[in-house]
Amino acid sequence: MCSIAEDDFGDDGAAHGMKEDTPQPELAANELCRKCNTELAVLKLNLKEPQCRSCFLNYVRHKFRASLGSTKIVRRGSRVLIIFTGGPENVTLLDMIRFGLEQDSFKQLRIVPVLLYMDDEFVNRADELRMQRLAKRINVLKQFSNFPSYYTVCGSSKYVEVTFEEEFSPTGFEEDEKRLIHVLEAVRSVSSKQDLLEQVHKQTYRSIAKALNCNYVFLSDIGIDLAKTLLSNVALGRGCSLAQDVAFCDDRDNAVKLIRPIRDLNPDEISNYLQYSEAQLLHLPLAKHFDDKPSLQNLTAKFIDNLQQSFPSTVSTVFRTGDKLDAPKVVQKTAPASASVDGTDFLALFDKKFTLKEQPTVAEYCRFCGAALDYRGSKTLFATEYSRLVSSRINAACSHEDILQKSKQMEQDAERAVNGEDDDERRELLKHLCHGCRNIFEDINE
């Protein structure tokens, strides 16, 4: 049982009852590696024995290979689409994949890697700055030029092959860029903008993976990233897909599975890997869009970052909570809106091009993100909608009889709103969306 009594909770929220992680003793001079007992140790991770460079690299690479081997999800010889971002975690993942492919036949990593650089710099950056950042990303990508590499933009289903012989300047994506910018500009809150952009990222990954005949997509999320995702998605109302958003494998789309093979790594292991790897690895810091503005995601990220500084062990506990959650299973599952007739138009729900005539029946999954629909009979959503109606329709001037009469009507209206049973066709679309995507949909200006 918890050792903190009720009297311990005061104005400081029982912060005095939490103890920061004890700093680990620094590495002694000329200390041997506790693994091989032959080489001098060069680092000492938190709660780990001193390690030499070779043992440390083997340790980190083993965690990566063990995550793939223990799950047995990725089949031998499969084509894998690896998302390139140029960040420290991403470069670490790519280097471990390259190292695995260079091993002998017994230890060789048996996959066929295909790299994809998805550009979203056009969202809120000038063209000149965007081209500068593109040139830097391509320079980092050159380190892995032995892998086939492709380029696309966020929200597009088209792609081009990346060439390293001359300056890379892609064209033909202008319409896709304008369309996504138009949708983002119509969204009012920053939280919804970031959530929409994140969902479009995933839909773009799946769309390009299908076009390139890849059944798996490797993402470079680590533990602290998943801790931020878990808490952010709770605040955004994405509880029905929470387990899949932080799991090793997101299999809501049977055709393309999103894999997070380095989710067990932490920031210290990433930074030390880049420092002690056999070859110097170029990488660039990642800056997410709208990270300088107030939003639920930015507030959660700041909280987790502060937690990582003082209580790093707690961050691992946060994201591992997602492993204990079960994702709702969809009994009958067909292609979601992200894989519509042409397989590309996953923004149709948000730029008013999607109509109910395309699929009159209500599916059991969200037409945008693919999560299971769980709004029917939801007491939580009903209470939220009923509270909103009370705030807008009841005031001090209403008599007792008026309140009683309006309360019955508000109950019916709240139930209809939750189930998407309004006569308005735009509101009727809510039947096809989960609660998280509904929040984005309702946050769009008319």
Which helix (H) or strand (E) element contains residue 257? strand 257-259
In this structure, the answer to whether residues 156 and 297 fall within a common structural domain is yes
Stated length of the chain: 446
Number of domains in the chain: 2
Q: How large a percentage of the chain has pLDDT more than 90?
A: 36
Please give the pLDDT value at position 66: 92
Residue at a domain's end among 311, 338, 368: 311
Task: Give 144-202 as a DSSP string.
Answer: GTTS-EEEEETT-S--EE--SSS-----S-HHHHHHHHHHHHHB-SHHHHHHHHHHHHH
- Give pLDDT tens digits for 400-444: 777 777 777 788 777 777 776 666 666 677 778 888 888 888 888
Is 235 domain-assigned? Answer: yes
Is 35 domain-assigned? Answer: no
In this structure, the answer to whether residues 279 and 403 fall within a common structural domain is no
In this structure, the answer to whether residues 188 and 276 fall within a common structural domain is yes
Please give the pLDDT value at position 360: 46
CA terminus-to-terminus distance, the chain:
52
Identify whether the C-beta of residue 44 lies closer than 8 Å to the C-beta of residue 62.
no
Residue 368's identity, in one-letter code, is F
Please give the pLDDT value at position 323: 82
Please give the pLDDT value at position 356: 47
Is 394 domain-assigned? Answer: yes
Please give the pLDDT value at position 355: 52
Is 175 domain-assigned? Answer: yes
In this structure, the answer to whether residues 286 and 365 fall within a common structural domain is no
- Give pLDDT tens digits for 186-220: 899 999 999 999 999 999 999 999 999 999 999 99
The residue among 438, 339, 338, 344 whose CA lies nearest residue 385 is 438
DSSP class of residue 394 equals -
Is 210 domain-assigned? Answer: yes
Is 30 domain-assigned? Answer: no
In this structure, the answer to whether residues 244 and 388 fall within a common structural domain is no
Please give the pLDDT value at position 273: 94
Is 339 domain-assigned? Answer: no
In this structure, the answer to whether residues 307 and 356 fall within a common structural domain is no
Quick one: tokens of 221? 């999320």
Please give the pLDDT value at position 201: 93
Is 429 domain-assigned? Answer: yes
In this structure, the answer to whether residues 293 and 362 fall within a common structural domain is no
In this structure, the answer to whether residues 361 and 294 fall within a common structural domain is no
- What are the residue ranges in the chain where pLDDT is below 50? 1, 6, 9, 332-344, 356-360
In this structure, the answer to whether residues 230 and 97 fall within a common structural domain is yes
Task: Give 276-294 as a DSSP string.
Answer: HSSS---------TTTTS-
Please give the pLDDT value at position 332: 44
The CATH number given to whatever domain includes residue 169 is 3.40.50.620
The residue among 85, 48, 9, 49 whose CA lies nearest residue 312 is 48
Please give the pLDDT value at position 342: 35
In this structure, the answer to whether residues 240 and 298 fall within a common structural domain is yes
- What pairing do the DSSP bridges indicate for beta strands 249-250 and 257-259? antiparallel
Residue at a domain's end among 259, 292, 311: 311
Please give the pLDDT value at position 128: 82
Distance CA 401, CA 399 (A): 5
| 259: containing domain | 73-311
Residue at a domain's end among 289, 311, 333: 311
In this structure, the answer to whether residues 250 and 370 fall within a common structural domain is no
